[in-house]
């Protein structure tokens, strides 16, 4: 019996002992401003939960001990007790206050992380496509692409545009920030930043079928000069990614790390449009809105603009998409 008990305890502890990468809990090892903000939110949430959990556990232990059945127990017996206004206020009031505090911090940090801060540093744009079962990274400004690994300049905001040409997945680099979904027909947006050079772990965080475990990629952060040299070397020495090559790459299956010195024009836009172009309009204007503010060229190569202009463009595209859908239904 004792052996069974210890085996059960070992089984419960084993996942904890095996969790993490390089003997660290990567979620709690932030290496960028987004991850640092999210870690603070995790700590605040844990503290607020502890305010409830610890007293509840302590009360449970006390009640079990105080009202245990034993000869001579003098604990009061009140079978007709119905309620207590003071206790009702406590066990309803405390959770309401905690939820209010947690909601405040969550909303504050969510809006703060919606877009990178405006600085003199120009962000880099990377277009990400999740496939079965691999990741394609396109660098539209450099005209190159990689598979299952991505280079980024350290200390520079990275503006990821995310879509899927396969089942829905989730893009996640734990040490740099939270995850964002990749969905067919949608161009999602996410910005992250690595504060210092290093190699970080990235993966798909959404189950997507047989080879889901292979949806991993390396993130190499390096100084801007090294990044420029790497991109120039890929441009010079790697083969081109053709339309036929992408068709072959997009077929279900795993892949080693690959590099391409050129990419088909507007490949990312065609991927999104192929899977439901009506949604592309909204995401295009959303991307343009963010890039207008931070100096990243939009899909049409334009820069500049105002918040109101970006929002009006979004409204116009949504109306245009709705009108097109109405015409098709007629």
Q: What is the pLDDT along the chain (330 residues), one digit of tens a residue?
A: 456 555 555 555 555 444 444 446 788 889 999 999 999 999 999 999 999 899 999 999 998 888 888 888 887 777 788 888 998 998 899 989 999 999 999 999 989 888 887 778 889 999 999 999 999 999 999 999 999 999 999 999 999 999 999 999 999 999 999 899 999 999 999 999 999 999 999 999 888 888 888 899 999 999 999 999 999 999 999 999 999 999 999 999 999 999 999 999 999 999 999 876 555 544 443 444 344 434 444 444 333 333 333 333 333 333 333 334 333 334
Q: Is 172 in contact with 205 (CB distance < 8 Å)?
A: yes
Q: Give residue 4's pLDDT.
A: 59
Count other C-beta atoms under 10 Å from residue 137's C-beta.
22
Q: Is the peptide bond before 133 cis (omega within 30 degrees of 0)?
A: yes
Q: Is 157 in contact with 294 (CB distance < 8 Å)?
A: yes
> In terms of pTM, does the model score above 0.75?
no
Overall fold of domain 26-71+83-114: Helix Hairpins (1.10.287)
- Separation of alpha carbons 61 and 95, rounded Å: 21
Residues 6+ apart with CB under 8 A from 152: 124, 126, 158, 194, 219, 220, 221, 222, 227
Sign of the C-alpha dihedral computed for residues 188, 189, 192 and 197 taken in this order: positive
Q: Give residue 115's pLDDT.
A: 82
Could you tell me which of 328, 317, 18 has the C-alpha nearest to residue 187? 317
Q: Is 218 in contact with 150 (CB distance < 8 Å)?
A: yes
Reply yes or no on domain 124-319 having CATH 1.20.140.150.
no
Q: Give residue 182's pLDDT.
A: 94
Domain coordinates of the chain in residue numbers?
26-71+83-114, 124-319
């Amino acid at each position: 019996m004792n052996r069974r008990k210890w085996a059960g305890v070992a089984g419960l502890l084993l996942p904890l002992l095996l969790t993490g990468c390089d003997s660290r809990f990567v979620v709690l090892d932030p290496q960028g401003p987004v991850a640092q903000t999210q870690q603070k939110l995790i700590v605040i949430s844990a503290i607020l939960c502890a305010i409830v959990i610890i007293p509840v556990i302590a009360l449970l232990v006390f009640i079990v001990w105080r009202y245990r059945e034993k000869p001579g127990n003098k604990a009061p017996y009140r079978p007709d007790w119905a309620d207590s206004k003071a206790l009702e206020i406590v066990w309803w009031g405390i959770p309401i206050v905690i939820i209010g505090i947690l909601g405040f911090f969550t909303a504050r940090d969510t809006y703060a992380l919606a877009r990178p801060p405006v600085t003199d540093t120009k962000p880099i744009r990377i277009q990400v496509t999740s496939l079965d079962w691999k990741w394609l990274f396109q660098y539209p400004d450099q005209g190159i692409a990689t598979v299952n690994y991505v280079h980024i300049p350290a200390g520079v905001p990275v503006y990821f545009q995310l879509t899927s040409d396969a089942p829905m997945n989730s893009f996640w680099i734990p040490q740099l920030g939270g995850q964002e979904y990749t969905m067919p027909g949608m161009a999602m947006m996410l910005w992250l930043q690595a504060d210092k050079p290093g190699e970080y772990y990235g993966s798909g965080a959404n189950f997507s079928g047989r080879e889901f475990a292979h949806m991993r990629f390396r993130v190499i952060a390096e100084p801007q000069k090294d990044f420029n040299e790497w991109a120039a070397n890929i441009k010079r020495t790697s083969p081109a990614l053709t339309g036929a090559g992408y068709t072959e790459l997009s077929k279900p299956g795993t892949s080693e790390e690959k590099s391409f010195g050129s990419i088909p024009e507007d490949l990312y836009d065609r991927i999104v449009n192929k899977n439901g172009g009506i949604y592309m309009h909204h995401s295009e204007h959303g991307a343009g809105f963010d890039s207008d503010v931070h100096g990243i060229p939009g899909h049409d190569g334009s820069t500049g603009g105002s918040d109101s202009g970006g929002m009006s463009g979004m409204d116009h595209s949504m109306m245009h998409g709705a009108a097109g859908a109405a015409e098709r239904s007629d």
